[in-house]
Structure 1
Amino acid sequence: MTSETSFTRKMLGSLAAAAVAVGATLTVASPAQAAPALRFHSAQYDSPGKDTRSNASLNKEWIALVNTGKKAINLKGWKVVDKSATYTIGNVTIAGKGGKVYLHTGKGTSSQTHLYWGRGNYVWNNTGDTATLKTKAGKIHDTCSWKQKSGRTKVAC
């Protein structure tokens, strides 16, 4: 046993004894909570067919999130960000164990698995782009980037 380990054990023992003497409870700090197992799954960055800006065409452009953890995650306040626009997620819970949520560019009625940005123009650039997922606190949690590939309109993140 190193002298540092011995010293640490003695200090913890002394602190515990002091806590008991004053009727307090000694708690040892646990490691920081792990970040949610949430990430981008895929993006349909170029809606199939002609880019007509019709709502149907806009909704064929989407980006998907996946929860690879065991527990469901409430996404309220999380943001999906592009250089030109930001979407703030409402009170939506993504299921655990592979649950997915799709964010479509156009208008529609949102559900727990399909969200609608309500835009009248495309968000994701066909020639390459980066989507950023931010936490409620505004910290970058994940990104998904792509470059145009011949014949591809969808990418796995």
Structure 2
Amino acid sequence: DGWTLRDEDGHRYTFDDYRLRGRSTVRVHTGTGRDTRSDVYQDRRHYIWDNRSDTATLRNDRGRYVDSNSWGQRRGGRR
């Protein structure tokens, strides 16, 4: 409970009552749908991930950095 996935614009998804087994993956979808073990949905009407560049940052329930993934050219011309 309480882990978050956030983009560069501050959009945040909070994992509530979700357990991920070791070496497993989960896909976090922007739209609506029914959560399963491998797919969770943010229930948003508009996409939040930028196709040109963005960063997804995962933090634990205490707000500590766990991991991130970036794609494209980062803002401000930095990579």
Q: How big is the shift at 1:108?
A: 0.6
TM-score under structure 2 normalisation? 0.83
Q: Which amino acid aligns with 1:127?
A: R
Tell me how far apart the structure 2 counterparts of residues 112 and 92 of structure 1 sit (CA, whole Å). Answer: 8
Specify the code of the residue in structure 1 equivalent to 2:51: N
* Cα deviation code 1:89-144 (max 9, x no counterpart): 01111122x21111111001112221000111111101101111011001111111
Q: Which of these two proteins has the greater Rg computed from alpha carbons? A: 1
Aligned ranges 1:98-109 → 2 under 5 Å: 98-109=23-34
After superposition, give the CA deviation of every residue in 1:49-72 in whole Å (9 maximum; x if it has no partner). xxxxxxxxxxxxxxxxxxxxxxxx
Structure 2 SS opposite 1:125: coil
* Identity fraction in percent: 36
Corresponding residue for residue 92 of structure 1: 18
Counterpart residue type for residue 12 of structure 2: T
Amino acid across the alignment from 1:108: G
What is the aligned partner in structure 2 of residue 140 from structure 1? 65
Distance in 2 (CA, whole Å) between partners of 1:109 and 1:118 is 9
1:127 aligned onto 2:48 = no
SS for the counterpart of 1:141 is strand
User: Equivalences for 1:76-91 in 2 at 5 Å?
Assistant: 76-82=1-7, 83-91=9-17
1:24-39 alignment runs, 5 A limit:
none
- Provide structure 1 residue ranges, at least 5 long, that are not aligned to the other structure: 1-75, 149-157
Q: Structure 1 residue 84: deviation in Å?
A: 3.6
Contact 1:84–1:123 (CA<8 Å) still a contact in 2? Answer: no
Find the aligned partners of 1:103 and 1:147 in 2 and give their Cα distance: 19
- Structure 1 runs, 4 residues or longer, greater than 6 Å off: none
Structure having greater relative contact order (Cα 8 Å, sep ≥ 6): 2
Q: Please report the RMSD computed on the Cα atoms of aligned residues, expressed in angstroms.
A: 1.2
> TM-score, normalising length from structure 1?
0.44
Higher helix share: 1
Which 5+ residue runs of structure 2 have no aligned equivalent? 74-79
